[in-house]
Amino acid sequence: MLTSLIIGNIFSFFSALCIAVSAVKKSKKNFMYWQIGDTLFGIIANIALYAYAALVISIMCLIRNILSYKDKLTKNITIILIILGIIIGLYANNRGIIGWLPIIASATYTICIYITTNEQQMRWALIFNMLLWFVHNAYVQAYPSAIANIVLCLWTGVQILRYAPKKCRKAEK
Protein backbone atom coordinates (compact mmCIF):
# COMPACT_ATOMS: atom_id res chain seq x y z
CA MET A 1 0.00 0.00 0.00
CA LEU A 2 2.81 2.42 0.87
CA THR A 3 4.54 1.66 -2.44
CA SER A 4 1.33 2.47 -4.33
CA LEU A 5 0.98 5.71 -2.40
CA ILE A 6 4.55 6.73 -3.24
CA ILE A 7 4.19 5.80 -6.93
CA GLY A 8 0.83 7.59 -7.08
CA ASN A 9 2.34 10.72 -5.59
CA ILE A 10 5.35 10.68 -7.93
CA PHE A 11 3.06 10.59 -10.96
CA SER A 12 0.75 13.05 -9.28
CA PHE A 13 3.72 15.42 -9.08
CA PHE A 14 4.44 15.10 -12.82
CA SER A 15 0.76 15.61 -13.56
CA ALA A 16 0.85 18.78 -11.46
CA LEU A 17 3.88 20.07 -13.37
CA CYS A 18 2.10 19.64 -16.69
CA ILE A 19 -1.04 21.40 -15.54
CA ALA A 20 1.10 24.22 -14.13
CA VAL A 21 2.78 24.74 -17.49
CA SER A 22 -0.59 24.66 -19.27
CA ALA A 23 -1.92 27.48 -17.09
CA VAL A 24 0.57 29.99 -18.53
CA LYS A 25 0.12 29.11 -22.17
CA LYS A 26 -1.47 31.76 -24.35
CA SER A 27 -2.95 29.60 -27.08
CA LYS A 28 -5.55 26.88 -26.74
CA LYS A 29 -3.33 24.46 -28.69
CA ASN A 30 -0.40 24.89 -26.28
CA PHE A 31 -2.84 24.81 -23.35
CA MET A 32 -4.20 21.44 -24.52
CA TYR A 33 -0.75 20.01 -25.34
CA TRP A 34 0.33 20.28 -21.72
CA GLN A 35 -2.99 18.99 -20.47
CA ILE A 36 -2.39 15.81 -22.48
CA GLY A 37 0.70 15.25 -20.31
CA ASP A 38 -1.33 16.04 -17.21
CA THR A 39 -3.87 13.34 -18.01
CA LEU A 40 -1.24 10.75 -18.96
CA PHE A 41 0.50 11.13 -15.61
CA GLY A 42 -2.87 11.36 -13.87
CA ILE A 43 -3.92 8.00 -15.30
CA ILE A 44 -0.89 6.30 -13.78
CA ALA A 45 -1.37 8.14 -10.46
CA ASN A 46 -5.04 7.10 -10.28
CA ILE A 47 -4.15 3.46 -10.97
CA ALA A 48 -1.60 3.50 -8.16
CA LEU A 49 -4.00 5.27 -5.77
CA TYR A 50 -6.96 2.97 -6.57
CA ALA A 51 -9.13 5.91 -7.64
CA TYR A 52 -11.13 4.17 -10.34
CA ALA A 53 -13.70 6.86 -11.18
CA ALA A 54 -10.85 9.35 -11.53
CA LEU A 55 -8.99 6.81 -13.69
CA VAL A 56 -11.94 6.46 -16.06
CA ILE A 57 -12.40 10.22 -16.17
CA SER A 58 -8.68 10.73 -16.82
CA ILE A 59 -8.88 8.36 -19.79
CA MET A 60 -11.89 10.28 -21.15
CA CYS A 61 -10.01 13.55 -20.54
CA LEU A 62 -7.00 12.22 -22.42
CA ILE A 63 -9.19 11.43 -25.42
CA ARG A 64 -10.87 14.84 -25.16
CA ASN A 65 -7.56 16.68 -24.84
CA ILE A 66 -6.00 14.90 -27.82
CA LEU A 67 -9.06 15.59 -29.99
CA SER A 68 -9.17 19.21 -28.85
CA TYR A 69 -5.44 19.60 -29.53
CA LYS A 70 -5.99 18.27 -33.06
CA ASP A 71 -9.12 20.42 -33.54
CA LYS A 72 -11.22 17.27 -33.96
CA LEU A 73 -13.51 17.71 -30.95
CA THR A 74 -16.96 17.87 -32.53
CA LYS A 75 -20.31 18.38 -30.85
CA ASN A 76 -21.22 14.68 -31.22
CA ILE A 77 -17.87 13.49 -29.85
CA THR A 78 -18.19 15.93 -26.94
CA ILE A 79 -21.66 14.59 -26.10
CA ILE A 80 -20.47 10.97 -26.36
CA LEU A 81 -17.43 11.64 -24.14
CA ILE A 82 -19.56 13.37 -21.52
CA ILE A 83 -22.17 10.60 -21.46
CA LEU A 84 -19.57 7.81 -21.43
CA GLY A 85 -17.57 9.60 -18.75
CA ILE A 86 -20.61 9.95 -16.52
CA ILE A 87 -21.88 6.40 -17.01
CA ILE A 88 -18.53 4.61 -16.77
CA GLY A 89 -17.29 6.99 -14.06
CA LEU A 90 -20.32 6.29 -11.86
CA TYR A 91 -19.99 2.55 -12.50
CA ALA A 92 -16.28 2.54 -11.62
CA ASN A 93 -16.69 4.86 -8.64
CA ASN A 94 -15.30 3.31 -5.47
CA ARG A 95 -15.07 6.56 -3.45
CA GLY A 96 -18.71 7.56 -2.93
CA ILE A 97 -19.49 11.26 -3.25
CA ILE A 98 -15.76 12.05 -3.55
CA GLY A 99 -15.70 9.90 -6.71
CA TRP A 100 -18.37 12.14 -8.25
CA LEU A 101 -16.08 15.18 -8.18
CA PRO A 102 -13.82 14.14 -11.10
CA ILE A 103 -16.93 13.23 -13.08
CA ILE A 104 -18.48 16.66 -12.51
CA ALA A 105 -15.15 18.41 -13.13
CA SER A 106 -14.60 16.56 -16.40
CA ALA A 107 -18.12 17.05 -17.74
CA THR A 108 -18.14 20.79 -17.09
CA TYR A 109 -14.61 21.29 -18.40
CA THR A 110 -15.34 19.25 -21.54
CA ILE A 111 -18.33 21.47 -22.27
CA CYS A 112 -16.18 24.57 -21.79
CA ILE A 113 -13.40 23.28 -24.05
CA TYR A 114 -15.95 22.59 -26.76
CA ILE A 115 -17.89 25.84 -26.60
CA THR A 116 -15.06 28.35 -26.26
CA THR A 117 -11.72 29.23 -27.73
CA ASN A 118 -11.41 32.12 -25.30
CA GLU A 119 -8.41 31.49 -23.04
CA GLN A 120 -9.89 33.60 -20.24
CA GLN A 121 -13.05 31.53 -20.12
CA MET A 122 -10.94 28.39 -20.20
CA ARG A 123 -8.92 29.70 -17.25
CA TRP A 124 -12.11 30.27 -15.22
CA ALA A 125 -13.27 26.75 -16.07
CA LEU A 126 -9.84 25.45 -15.07
CA ILE A 127 -10.18 27.08 -11.63
CA PHE A 128 -13.55 25.37 -11.08
CA ASN A 129 -12.09 22.09 -12.35
CA MET A 130 -9.04 22.41 -10.07
CA LEU A 131 -11.16 23.06 -6.98
CA LEU A 132 -13.14 19.87 -7.55
CA TRP A 133 -9.98 17.89 -8.24
CA PHE A 134 -8.35 19.38 -5.13
CA VAL A 135 -11.00 17.85 -2.88
CA HIS A 136 -10.69 14.51 -4.66
CA ASN A 137 -6.88 14.50 -4.66
CA ALA A 138 -6.67 15.41 -0.98
CA TYR A 139 -9.07 12.57 -0.17
CA VAL A 140 -7.16 9.93 -2.17
CA GLN A 141 -3.83 11.24 -0.80
CA ALA A 142 -2.49 12.53 -4.12
CA TYR A 143 -0.79 15.31 -2.20
CA PRO A 144 1.38 16.85 -4.94
CA SER A 145 -1.66 17.23 -7.15
CA ALA A 146 -3.80 18.54 -4.29
CA ILE A 147 -1.22 21.19 -3.45
CA ALA A 148 -0.76 21.98 -7.13
CA ASN A 149 -4.54 22.32 -7.54
CA ILE A 150 -4.66 25.11 -4.96
CA VAL A 151 -1.50 26.79 -6.22
CA LEU A 152 -2.81 26.59 -9.76
CA CYS A 153 -6.15 28.08 -8.78
CA LEU A 154 -4.26 31.06 -7.42
CA TRP A 155 -1.82 31.15 -10.34
CA THR A 156 -4.63 30.88 -12.88
CA GLY A 157 -6.37 33.75 -11.10
CA VAL A 158 -3.20 35.80 -11.58
CA GLN A 159 -3.16 34.83 -15.26
CA ILE A 160 -6.79 35.92 -15.57
CA LEU A 161 -5.84 39.34 -14.23
CA ARG A 162 -2.66 39.45 -16.33
CA TYR A 163 -4.50 38.78 -19.58
CA ALA A 164 -7.61 40.79 -18.72
CA PRO A 165 -8.42 43.47 -21.28
CA LYS A 166 -6.76 46.77 -20.44
CA LYS A 167 -10.11 48.51 -19.94
CA CYS A 168 -10.97 45.99 -17.19
CA ARG A 169 -7.62 46.50 -15.46
CA LYS A 170 -8.09 50.29 -15.53
CA ALA A 171 -11.53 49.95 -13.97
CA GLU A 172 -10.00 47.97 -11.06
CA LYS A 173 -7.62 50.81 -10.15
Query: Which of 103-107, 110-114, 153-157 has the lowest average pLDDT?
Result: 110-114
Express as a percent the part of the chain with pLDDT over 90.
55
DSSP category for residue 15: H
Listing DSSP states for 20-64 in one string gives HHHHT-SSHHHHHHHHHHHHHHHHHHHHHTT-HHHHHHHHHHHHH
Give me the mean pLDDT over the 19-26 stretch: 79
The predicted model scores a pTM of 0.79
Q: Report d(CA 64, CA 68) in Å as an integer.
A: 6
Q: Report d(CA 125, CA 32) in Å as an integer.
A: 13
102 touches 136 (CB < 8 A): yes
Tell me the per-residue pLDDT of 30-53, one tens digit each, with 9 for 90 and over: 888 999 999 999 999 999 999 998
Does residue 171 have a pLDDT over 60?
no
